[in-house]
Amino acid sequence: MAVWVDDMRIAKHGKLWCHLVADSWEEMHAFALQTLQLEQRRFHRKAKLPHYDVTVYERELALQLGAVAAHHRQIVVCARKLLASV
């Protein structure tokens, strides 16, 4: 199992943002909420594809803590697999 962070740099609210997903729902939420200590509101439950928004700084921290860098297309594939597992 893996946690993935993409290479996007979306400018919003004065910060640059990326996306975080994982191979399982449990792993994604545990990594985001416990390991990175993100707020639950960062999870985009109603988005077309489930993910957490992370700042570029948080992306680097996630990588240091074991997440895997991924192209944003790979994030889409992972998020679709999560949806299919519901």
The model's pLDDT over 34-79, given as tens digits with 9 standing for 90+, comes to 999 999 999 988 888 999 999 999 999 999 999 999 999 999 999 9
Q: Regarding beta strands 15-22 and 3-6, do their DSSP bridges make them parallel or antiparallel, or are they unpaired? A: antiparallel
In terms of residue numbers, what domain contains 48? 3-84
Look up the pTM and report it. Answer: 0.91
Please give the tally of structural domains in the chain.
Answer: 1
Q: What is the pLDDT of residue 39?
A: 94
pLDDT given at position 29: 96
Residue 47: what pLDDT?
83
Sign of CA dihedral 59, 63, 68, 71: positive
Q: In whole angstroms, give the CA distance from residue 62 to residue 36.
A: 7
